[in-house]
Amino acid sequence: MRFPRLAFEKRLTISRGLTITVPIASLVLGFLSAAPLFFAVGVNPILAYQQVLGVFTSTDGLTESLTRGIPLLLASVGLCLPFKMNFWNIGAEGQLFMGAFAATAIVFLLPDSPAFVLVGSMMIAGFIFGGLWGLIPGYLKARLEVNEVLTTLMLNSVAILWVDYVVYGPWRDPEGFGFPLTPMFPLNARLPWIPGTRIHAGLLIGLICAVIVYIFLARSKWGYELKVTGESRLAAKYAGIDYLRLTLLVMLISGGLAGLAGMGLVSGIVLRLRHGISPGYGYSAIIIAWLARLNPLAAVPVSILFGGLLVAGDALQIGLGLAFATALVFQALILLFVVGAEVLTRYKLILTWG
């Protein structure tokens, strides 16, 4: 008896054409695969596709995609660094929450400062707190070999619950009808924004950070150290690379950028801290960083497209009255196809009989 067998064979070189055609083809397949879903909930798939494509063809849809892309961009750029050295930082979500918390604390501390002092301090505080939240698992891993996947993941819960504590407790808005949120920020605590949209200065910061991190990775001696460490920790040791110092540096920046993403959410969008300030941007950023192949510049378009996917989910709910869960399933299908097909850019699929 002979059975067909599928085998993967590593491509020796990755062609540019494939890195474009594979994602596009997988998008199309993802859309098609969602058709039965739309049928099942009684919606004409064509109408659904129109809603989704509308996100990317209308000004409102595009600006909103950019807006949603900002925290994704900041967090995913940050994640490129630890992932390069095989440090699995799953904690961008928690680092983001700590950044949002610290930025809010600054508003409570210096409510009457001029805008640039206040916003500047919020940014610094957001970066530092996010960074410190990243340093904890970094230190534990480098010094005591504590698995960073567990620590970063568990610290997410700690950070999210800590923010819940302050918005349900001491910082709750007395005039907020009991909702878990802080009072609205004064105008001097708001990041500059493009009038008529929700796009704020975080986008510019994200773009600058993407460029800086790209140069850092490609040209600096630390970028080289990251690459060597990612290859093999023993090789890094042999090369005289100080693993502790490198890990702390990387996690400070990575957590700091996630913290900035959190600062951008409270200071640019929501204008207060509240329960569930992020719907999981820190987790989505992990997928984005990998789809971008840990290239911070590639993370820019991927983040915006990902933002668009989130907006598309909203559009399906609002425009066609689909349930939240249905929209989630649609997003998940698209992601499944894109992430799943990514492997085909690096491997050839070979069918053999035997």
Partner 1 sequence: MPSKEILLQMKRIVKRFPGVVANDRVDFELRAGEVHGLLGENGAGKTTLMNVLYGILRPDEGEIYIRGKKVEIGSPREAIKLGIGMVHQNFKLVEPHTVIENILLGLKEPAFMLDVKESANKVLEISKRYELPIDPKARIWQLSMGERQRVEILKALYRGANILVLDEPTSVLTPPETRELFRFIAQMAGEGRSVVFITHKLDEVIAISDRVTVLRAGRNVDTLHREQLDKTRLASMMVGREVLFTLRKSAVTVGEPVLEMKHVTVMGDRDFPAIKDLTFTIRRGQILGVAGIAGNGQRELTEAITGMRPIASGEVRLCGKEIGRDSISHRIEEGIAYVPEDRVGVAAPQGLTVAQDLVLRRYREKPFSNGVFLNQDEIERNAENLIKEFNIMVSGKDAPARTLSGGNLQKLILARELSGEPELIVAAYPTRGLDVGATEYVRSLLLKQREAGSAVLMVSEDLDEILSLSDIIAVMYGGEIVGTVPAAEANVEEIGLMMGGSLRKP
Measured CA to CA in angstroms, residue 83 lies from 122, 223, 255, 273, 283 at distances of 27, 12, 13, 29, 14
Q: How far is the CB of 218 from partner 1 (least distance, A)?
A: 9
Q: Residue 237, interface with partner 1 (CB under 8 A)?
A: yes
Q: Residue 232, interface with partner 1 (CB under 8 A)?
A: yes
Q: By CB under 8 A, what part of segment 210-229 binds partner 1?
A: 219-221, 223-224, 227-228
Residue the block writes with tokens 């789809």:
291
Nearer to partner 1 by C-beta: 20 or 235? 235
Cβ–Cβ < 8 Å for 26, 338: yes
Q: How far is the CB of 220 from partner 1 (least distance, A)?
A: 6
Nearer to partner 1 by C-beta: 83 or 337? 83
Structure tokens at 220: 């600096």
Q: Residue 2, interface with partner 1 (CB under 8 A)?
A: no
Q: Residue 60, interface with partner 1 (CB under 8 A)?
A: no
Nearer to partner 1 by C-beta: 174 or 221? 221
Nearer to partner 1 by C-beta: 60 or 231? 231
Task: Look up residue 274 and give its DSSP letter.
Answer: B
| Alpha-carbon gap, residue 216 to 171, rounded angstroms | 39
Q: Residue 86, interface with partner 1 (CB under 8 A)?
A: no
- Which residues, at least 6 apart from 286, have a Cβ–Cβ distance to it below 8 Å? 76, 79, 90, 92
| Alpha-carbon gap, residue 9 to 17, rounded angstroms | 18
Q: 347-353 and 4-10 as β-strands: parallel, antiparallel, unpaired?
A: antiparallel
Q: What Rg value do the Cα atoms of the chain yield, rounded?
A: 22
Q: Residue 239, interface with partner 1 (CB under 8 A)?
A: yes
Structure tokens at 273: 């801290």
Q: By CB under 8 A, what part of segment 242-261 binds partner 1?
A: 242
Structure tokens at 78: 């940050």
Q: Closest Cα partner for 133 from 93, 81, 181, 76?
A: 93
Nearer to partner 1 by C-beta: 143 or 237? 237
Structure tokens at 19: 């890195």
Among 231, 244, 324, 350, binds partner 1 (CB under 8 A): 231
Q: Tell me, what amino acid is at 191? A: L
Q: Residue 324, interface with partner 1 (CB under 8 A)?
A: no
Nearer to partner 1 by C-beta: 96 or 209? 209
Q: How far is the CB of 12 from partner 1 (least distance, A)?
A: 7
Q: Residue 196, interface with partner 1 (CB under 8 A)?
A: no
- List residues near partner 1 by CB under 8 A: 12, 219-221, 223-224, 227-228, 230-232, 234-235, 237-242, 354
